[in-house]
């Protein structure tokens, strides 16, 4: 069976299993989603949601996060892997958002990826889920499933993303990435 035929079956089955795809990270806008995605690296969404519940009550904007400071950010997220680096990244990216972007989350890959702690996958999630710009964020989970499903032989998430973008219609990318995560 060709990859395109397989992709149509995958879309059909995932649409049956997951017709609705809420964003699994709790947030109340672009900024808190960006922070939640940054914190989710090497951590579970469940744990990130537990810890950001209290954090976002007191710091749901770049200004409030900077005011909180690195040490206090760390105290809120210390149960996460890489919490020391993440607390610095959250503080520094918040400061850059204030200084360079008037406190707003930028809506281009280049600008997002210029922020500390924001790689291509994080930028892709924000672009897809906040700005509704077609993106196909590929994490390790999607990478592995794509290999098992015979959709890619890519050795990296970057290659897998490229392969999936060639197989699946652009209109499906934003929803499909979440459906595969839920699967």
Q: Which residues are catalytic?
A: 121, 139
Q: What's the first-to-final CA gap in the chain, in angstroms?
A: 22
Six token digits for residue 112: 């997002």
Give CA–CA dist 178/37, Å, rounded.
13
CB 25 within 8 A of CB 33: yes
Give CA–CA dist 56/65, Å, rounded.
9
Give CA–CA dist 40/31, Å, rounded.
14
């Amino acid at each position: 069976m060709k990859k395109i035929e397989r992709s149509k079956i995958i879309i059909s089955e995932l649409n049956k299993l997951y017709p609705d795809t809420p964003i699994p990270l709790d947030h109340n806008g672009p900024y808190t989603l960006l922070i939640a995605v940054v914190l989710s690296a090497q951590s579970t969404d469940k744990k990130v949601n537990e810890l950001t519940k209290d954090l976002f009550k007191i710091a749901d904007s770049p200004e409030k996060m900077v005011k909180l400071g690195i040490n206090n950010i760390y105290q809120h997220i210390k149960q996460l892997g890489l919490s020391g680096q993440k607390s610095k990244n959250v503080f520094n990216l918040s400061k850059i958002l204030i200084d360079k972007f008037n406190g707003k989350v930028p809506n281009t890959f280049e600008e997002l990826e210029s922020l500390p702690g924001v790689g291509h996958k994080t930028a892709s999630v924000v672009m897809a889920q906040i700005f509704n710009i077609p993106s196909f964020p590929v994490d390790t989970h999607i990478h592995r499933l794509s290999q098992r499903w015979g959709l890619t032989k890519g050795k990296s998430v970057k290659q897998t993303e490229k392969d999936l973008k060639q197989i699946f219609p652009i209109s499906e990318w934003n929803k499909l990435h979440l459906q595969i995560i839920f699967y």
